[in-house]
Structure formats: structure tokens, C-alpha cells
Amino acid sequence: MSRYFLILSIFLLCVCTSLSSRAQDKAFQLKGIIIDSLTQKPGEYFTVALKKDSAVLKTVISDEHGRFSFSAIKPGQYLLIFGSIGYQSKQLSVKLASDTDLGKVYMKAQGNDLKEVAIVASKPIIKQEPDRIVYDMQADPESKVLSVLDMMRKVPLLSVDADDNVKLKGTGNYRILINGKPSGVLTRDPKEFLRSMPANGVQKIEVITTPPSKYESEGLSGIINIITSKKVGNGYNGNVNARMQQPFSPGLNANLTIKQGDFGANLYGGTGVWRVDGVKVIDIRNSRNIAPASSLYSLGFQKTDNFWAWGGGELSYEIDSLNLITAEINPYGGYNQQDLGQHFDITNGPDVTAYNMNSSTRYEWRGTDYTVNYQKGFKDKKEHLLTFSYKFFDNKEPQLNDVSFVNFTDPNYRQDNVSKSKEQTAQLDYINPFKVVTVEAGVKAILRSGESNFQSLKFSNLVNDYVVDPTQSNVYSNDQNIYGIYNTYTLKMKDWTFKAGARLEATYVTGLFESTNSTVKTDYFNLIPSISFNRTLKNSQSVSVGFTQRIQRPGIWDLNPFVDRSRPNFEYVGNPDLEAVLSNNFELTYSNFKKGSLNISLTYNFANNTQQRVFEYIQAENLTKVTSLNIGKDRLLGSNVNFNYPITPKWNLSLSGNLNYIWIEGMINGELAKNSGVTGYANFNTSYKFEKTWKANISANYGAPNVLLQGQSNDYYYLGFGGSKDIIKDKLTFSASVANPFQKFRAYRNYTEGPNFTQERIRENYFRRIFCSLNWKFGKLEGSIKKSERSINNDDTKKSSN
């Protein structure tokens, strides 16, 4: 099968290369690199305006390497204007008759005479591209003190609810990548890692709403790509960050980068702790429409102890100007310990039961990611590349539940579940930018294997020890092999950009229950299209339209039939019969970047047979059973708005919001369940740069309730104040902030109902948080480490629903 895909991909490459080479037009490219004349470093985020006959035709911003480019420019005489805060403006006259590379454009730092500046632009926080929105973390002063999770509250299209769950356009069906690659540390519960990840180590966050065909087709709402790589060069530099948060959450992370000639290395690592005590947990359940009536009420207090650590090393070697090898290793690990003491009051008709329960749940994770990339360049064009990538990761996720009772007839019990997973990925990517058309194609194979060895043990008074219950013990294994090819074309004309492509994927899934020697097999093919159009208008305006299909594949934790009874009277079990879900997504976006930035988008998506978390009340056992089923039919109509405006060179204002209406329905035990409602969020942020390296920031956001098939959550809000001070300019920075200072706890509520019950779970999380950090930068670098332009990005499995 993989040989067939490779042959077909090569054939498509030959066809598209032949077609695209004919797409010629009298339009040229104009590019260059901005350099600081004093430091010889690249000029980041300079504004470059293309002017003709006293009218500005286009405006671009140089990237972090100082590069800028204008495409599809007609022949003629033009004037280029360069500018940025702190630099003298510069003008260049250019006569364009062919593709022109200006080479290095040197910019001088200005003195005290500000009148010379013709164009000024502070580093833009938000950038709109045809298929994504990019948020520059380093341009936001709060990134020096907050975690990545807290910074995500400010990123357009993203929101964080009261239980720290990240939402993309109001939903949780998306994928998270780090530097375009998946990581085992993010496979199950990404909020734990994001809460510990300092934002000052992140360069930018990309929210990809119309993923091109080179990405795996998983993630119904899109992809969140966290970019941590930084430019480095000959010499060395490093960064050490120490932080403290109340409730108790100390953390430390560091990185060191070394570059000498063609060799580069980047070493990094970090650790953190999150400990809270006295978190109130309430469970309420009432029967309805059945006799005899029953009810459950429990009140408890939870203690949580989280620990995590991660590290890594990346090596880069330039064999010559056209050949590059990179390798990376990323170990990680941690645990989450939850100790809960609860009192239960249960009624069932005339019978009344009261008892106490003490439970201890320990969930661990540990693993390592390994990646190797080889990149081959070509002499005709710098962007003409062939890349081979290989990635392997394995992880273990043991879970232990220990439950004991006081004044209760059921025996104490333990549950032990050891989950393991391994994944290998090999891919080949090719890109060739012709004058008007850019062609991309590739092949990919993903081989996954997972295993879960679970058993339940009940305490026996006869032997005074725990005894294995064979009816609740099993070994489950799951293999998932995916083979794919893709082909994408990008056509750039004067004011138009067209991007179209398709991805063909074949998936083979096998599940095996060793104790019963039973097998579950599923095979399916998907052809996934992706289309986007972008029209550039006058005065830095643009309109884009996009359509793509996305797949949601169940993860091993959703397929795992392990029965989790860590909460008595509630049972959580996986479903090995879950199937993949196909979603159709449409998006229309308007952007305006004349001074600040304004983005307005309308979205619509629909999917059938969606995976829904289903709650069922079993009266005879006085038990709520929770599992996942392919029963849903979802529709979403939404709008997104983001506005960013520099009121003055020192004062910036940002507003964003998302408003969705969701329709969900599905059959549960032969009865049709329906729900609909409004979801969304609103964000406000303003920052001010004072004299003498002081910075201040205020942020606030509100989130509407989440709408689920059988219920909804409550709404939530967030208010934060922060500031930073450079103790030693560009070397040592102290930062501090406070979130929600007027309320210590806030209840997070989940309401669920069915034909014969209503249920509510209330968890009072710590709401008030105080942060402080100290960040030290050292060393000096020149030049830059070269990194592979393409890498593995497996975004094709659903996040955990936990």
C-alpha cells in the first residue's frame, strides 16, 4: 500500500511541475534582507512600503530574519520606504524589469531627532495569513511572567474556561503541535503541560483554521501550533527563568544555545510543581420519572499534588550550503496525585445510606521523543527543498486508584491500569516555488501501537489482602497504521492568492482483547480537500475564503475498555468500537492592517456520527455510567472578531471575541437527545510602556457556557493586572501579575440530564492567583542556526476527553 502511495505521489509531482512551469505572467518578485548597520543583526518587524506615483500599493513587515518580499509586482518604477521605531527612515528607488533581490538593506539607529521617521511600526502582536492567525508572544510584555496557558486567553480564536480547558472557536476538537511536531507530553491532557510552560520561551502561537493538505487531517476545528525555536548564531547565549505562583507553584526553566561554524546545539529543560489543598467537590444526582425516587449528594475536599519535568537537546549540522541534518531528543515525565475525602448521603425510596470515602488517584506519565530531519536544497532557488523526516516516541501512563470506605458494606478496592503507546513516523516532503505557482507534495506513514493492562483488586477479609477480580481485568492492545499522500498548489498573482490541495489517507486499525481472544478491525480511506482564496484590497485590506474537511480519530484512551471506578456510584469506560468522524468547515475572513489590525470571520461547520460523551443512569445499581459513542450530529455557525490598535507608540489596545450557535443531537438508548445554545468568549487587553523600561498590562475575558449533548457548564470570567521592569536592560527582568484579585475560589459547574436523572458536579477551583518571575539572559550570538524548513506534524488523534 505504501509503495502505491509513493508511486502516485511521484506521478502527481511530475504532472503539477509540468503544469505550473507553464503558468507564466509578466509579474515579478522583489525581496531583500534588512540589517542593523551597527550590530549587523537582522532587522525584525520593520515596515516596508511599496509606493508608486505617490500611492502606497502594498505594505509588508520583515520577519524575524529581517527578510521581506513583494510578489506579483508588475514592471515599472517604484519607491521602497523602510521604517521602524528607533531607526532612521530610508527610501530606495527601484526599477523592476525582472525578479529582483536587493540583498542587504542597512538601517541606521536614529538619534534624538524623531522628525526623520516617515513610517513607524512597533512589533505587531497579531498577523493574519490566508489560512491562520499568528500571535507574537515576544511582542506582548505579559509573556515574561505568565504561562502559555494564561497567554492563550489573549490569542484570537482561543479561550480558556474556568477549569483551564483550552477551546478553539468555542470547541475542544483540535490538535496542539510544538514547532510543527506532535509531542507525547500533549497527547492526553495538554493543560497540565501548558500550565507549566513559561510563555517567555515561546516565540509565537499559530491558530490554523484552514490547515493546508500537508497537515494530517485530524482536528475538527483546526490546529494550534506553538513555535519555540529562536534565531541563534556563532557564539552562545542562554536564558534562566525562575517563577513562583500562589497557590504554591514554583518553577524553573533554562536553555542554552551554542553555534560555531556549521554546528549548532540547543539544550533546554524545566520543572514545576502545582499544589493545592481544600478544593471543594460536590456531586448531586436526582432520579426523575421513575419509582422509587433516588438521590445522591456528596461533599468532599481534594488535595492535588502535580509535578512535571521536561528537557531536550537539538543538534544542527550544515554539511554544505544545500544539505542540512538536524536531530532532537525530548524526555519528559511527571505525576498527578489527587487525594479526596468525601461524605455520601444516598436515598433509594425509603432506604437511606450515609458513609465516608477516602480515595487516592495517582496518574503518571513519562516518555521520550526522538526526531531526525534531512533537508536537501537546490541551487536554482532557496525555497526549492526536499526534506526527509523520521520521528519515534514512546510513553507510559500508569494509573492507580485506591478507594476505602467507612460505614459502608462494599469492600475496599484498588484499580491498576498501565497504558503504553509507541509511534513511528516517516515522511518525505517536496516544495518548488516557481514564479507564480508554488508546488508542494509528500508521502507519509504513521505506525502506532498502544497497550493497556488493567486489573481490579477487591479487599478480602478471608485472606486479609487484595484479590484480583478477573471479571474486571483484561489486556487490550491497539494498532493504528496510517498511510497518506498530499499535493498542494499555491498560485500568487497581483492581488490574488489561491491555495488548493488534497490529501489521501488510508487507515488500518486492529484492536485485540487477550483475555477473550477477540479482535476488532476497522479500515477506511479518506480524500481530504483544502481550498483557500485571498484577495488583497486597497489600504492594507484583504478578504479570504476557505474550505477544508477534517477527521477526528479516537485516541487510545477513548478506545481503552478500562473501567475507571475512582468515584463510587460513577463509572467511566472506553469504547473500542469508536470510529473516525469527518467534519466540513467553511470560513470567510476580512482583514485590515492599515494601522492596527482588524479581523472579522464567519464560520460554519457540520459533522455526522460525531463522538459524544454519554451519561446513563442505571437505577438497579444506583450508578451513572459514562462512555463515548458515535451518535452525534453537530452543526456550528459562528463569528470571530479581533481588533488590535496602537493608540500611541506606547499604548496598545486589543479586543477579541467569538460568538457561536451550536446544534447537537444524537440517539441514546433509542431516544433522541437534542441541545442547542450560544457559546463564545470576549477578551480585552491593554498594555502601556512607561519610561525607563517599565511596562504594565490589564486583561479581562468572559466565556459563555459550553453546550453539550446532555447539558452544559456555567459561564466564567478572568481579570488580570501585570507589569515588568528591566533591572538590567535586555539582561535581567522582574515581572509580576495578579489574576482575579477579588475572589479566592470560583465554582466550575457541569450540569447533565437524561430521561431518568439530573446530575451536577461542582468543583470550586482556586481563582485568585499571584505570579512573579525573574528572567536572566546571557551570552552573545551572531549569524543563525539553520533549521529544517519541514518537519513531522502528526495532528491526527483526538485529545483526551478527560
CA atoms within 13 A on the CB side of 760: 12
Confidence category of residue 230, pLDDT binned at 50, 70, 90: low
What pLDDT shows up at residue 354? 94
Task: Please name the amino acid found at residue 265.
Answer: A
Written in H, E and C, the secondary structure of 144-186 is HCCEHHHHHHHCCCEEECCCCCEEECCECCCEEEECCECCHHH
The strands making up 175-178's β-sheet, listed across from edge to edge, are 126-129, 132-136, 204-208, 223-227, 175-178
Query: Across the chain, what does the average pLDDT equal?
Result: 83
Judged against a pLDDT cut of 70, whether residue 42 lies above it is answered with yes
Q: Report the DSSP pairing between strands 541-552 and 518-537.
A: antiparallel
Q: 209: closest CA among 142, 149, 155?
A: 155
Judged against a pLDDT cut of 80, whether residue 632 lies above it is answered with yes
Q: Report the distance separating Cα 451 and Cα 461, nearest Å.
A: 33
Q: 425: closest CA among 402, 445, 395, 405?
A: 445
Q: Which residues have CB under 8 Å from 203's CB, separation 6+?
A: 64, 136, 137, 138, 227, 228, 229, 230
Phi then psi for 89, rounded to 5 degrees? -70, 160
Contact call for residues 453 and 418 (beta carbons, < 8 A): yes
Buried b (16+ CB within 10 A) or exposed e, 640-668: bebbbebeeeeebebebbbbbbbebbbeb
Lowest mean pLDDT among 207-221, 354-368, 496-510: 207-221
Q: Please tell me which residue, 521 or 120, carries the higher pLDDT value.
A: 521
What pLDDT shows up at residue 117? 33
Confidence category of residue 628, pLDDT binned at 50, 70, 90: very high
Q: Report the distance separating Cα 537 and Cα 65, nearest Å.
A: 27
Judged against a pLDDT cut of 70, whether residue 216 lies above it is answered with no
Q: Report the distance separating Cα 767 and Cα 748, nearest Å.
A: 10
Q: What percent of the chain has pLDDT over 90?
A: 36
Tell me 81's DSSP state.
E
Contact call for residues 469 and 456 (beta carbons, < 8 A): yes
Q: Which residues have CB under 8 Å from 775's CB, separation 6+?
A: 144, 200, 239, 240, 241, 732, 733, 734, 735
Q: 163: closest CA among 665, 577, 749, 755?
A: 749
Confidence category of residue 179, pLDDT binned at 50, 70, 90: confident
Q: Please tell me which residue, 527 or 126, carries the higher pLDDT value.
A: 527
Q: Report the distance separating Cα 461 and Cα 640, nearest Å.
A: 61
Judged against a pLDDT cut of 90, whether residue 276 lies above it is answered with yes
**How far does Cα 720 stand from its chain's mean position?**
22
In the numeric block, the cell 450540569 is attached to: 751
Three-state SS at 3 = helix
Q: What is the mean pLDDT of residues 689-702?
A: 83
Q: 368: closest CA among 193, 183, 191?
A: 183
Buried b (16+ CB within 10 A) or exposed e, 372-404: bbbbebeeeeeebbbbbbebebbbebbbbbbbe
Q: Please tell me which residue, 598 or 676, carries the higher pLDDT value.
A: 676
Handedness of CA 400, 405, 408, 413 (dihedral sign): positive
What are the pLDDT digits (tens) for 396-408? 989 999 999 998 8
Lowest mean pLDDT among 6-15, 92-101, 525-534, 733-742: 6-15
Q: How many CB atoms lie within 10 A of CB 166?
A: 21
Give the DSSP letter string of 109-125. BP-S-GGG-S---PPPS
Q: Report the distance separating Cα 585 and Cα 551, nearest Å.
A: 11
pTM over 0.75: no
First to last CA, the chain: 35
What are the pLDDT digits (tens) for 243-253? 998 888 899 98
Q: Please tell me which residue, 117 or 130, carries the higher pLDDT value.
A: 130
What are the pLDDT digits (tens) for 649-673? 778 888 888 899 999 999 999 999 9
Q: 801: closest CA among 609, 572, 638?
A: 572
Lowest mean pLDDT among 1-10, 125-134, 523-532: 1-10
What pLDDT shows up at residue 502? 92
Q: Report the DSSP pairing between strands 223-227 and 711-713.
A: unpaired
Q: What is the mean pLDDT of residues 147-176?
A: 75
What pLDDT shows up at residue 19? 39
Bridge partners, residue 453, by sequence = 418, 475
Give the containing element (helix H, strand E) for 384: none
Judged against a pLDDT cut of 60, whether residue 799 lies above it is answered with no
Burial of 578 (0-12, 13-18, 19+ CB in 10 A): buried
Judged against a pLDDT cut of 60, whether residue 12 lies above it is answered with no
Length of the chain: 802
Dihedral of CA atoms 148, 330, 387, 320 in degrees, nearest 10, equals 110
Judged against a pLDDT cut of 80, whether residue 781 lies above it is answered with no
Residue 251 cell numbers, joined? 518553577
Q: What percent of the chain has pLDDT over 70?
A: 85
Buried b (16+ CB within 10 A) or exposed e, 471-502: ebbbebbbebbbbbbbbbbbbbeeeebbbbbb
For residue 188, give Cα distances in angstroms to 15, 731, 796. 41, 37, 13
Contact call for residues 758 and 752 (beta carbons, < 8 A): yes
Written in H, E and C, the secondary structure of 278-325 is EEEEEEEEEECCCCCCEEEEEEEEEEEEEEEEEEEEEEEEEEECCEEE
Bridge partners, residue 618, by sequence = 623
Lowest mean pLDDT among 170-174, 236-240, 470-474, 544-548: 170-174
Q: What is the mean pLDDT of residues 164-179?
A: 75
What pLDDT shows up at residue 802? 40
Confidence category of residue 186, pLDDT binned at 50, 70, 90: low
Bridge partners, residue 519, by sequence = 512
Q: Please tell me which residue, 85 or 595, carries the higher pLDDT value.
A: 595
Tell me 233's DSSP state.
-
Q: Please tell me which residue, 1 or 267, carries the higher pLDDT value.
A: 267
Contact call for residues 93 and 76 (beta carbons, < 8 A): no
What pLDDT shows up at residue 784? 45
Residue 498 cell numbers, joined? 489561491
Q: Report the distance separating Cα 457 and Cα 737, nearest Å.
A: 47
For residue 389, give Cα distances in angstroms to 315, 327, 409, 442. 14, 10, 58, 11
Lowest mean pLDDT among 117-121, 174-178, 333-337: 117-121
Tell me 603's DSSP state.
E
Q: What is the mean pLDDT of residues 276-293?
A: 94
Judged against a pLDDT cut of 80, whether residue 575 lies above it is answered with yes
Phi then psi for 782, rounded to 5 degrees? -135, 155
What pLDDT shows up at residue 120? 36
Q: What is the mean pLDDT of residues 370-396?
A: 89
What pLDDT shows up at residue 130? 63
Q: What is the mean pLDDT of residues 452-465?
A: 90
What pLDDT shows up at residue 288? 94
Judged against a pLDDT cut of 50, whether residue 106 lies above it is answered with yes
Query: What is the gyration radius of the CA atoms in the chain, in angstroms?
Result: 28
Tell me 467's DSSP state.
E
Highest mean pLDDT, choosing among 42-56, 71-85, 449-463, 510-524: 449-463
Lowest mean pLDDT among 65-69, 169-173, 420-424, 770-774: 169-173
Confidence category of residue 221, pLDDT binned at 50, 70, 90: low
What pLDDT shows up at residue 470? 86
What are the pLDDT digits (tens) for 584-617? 999 998 988 776 778 899 999 999 999 999 999 9
Maximal C-alpha separation, the chain: 96
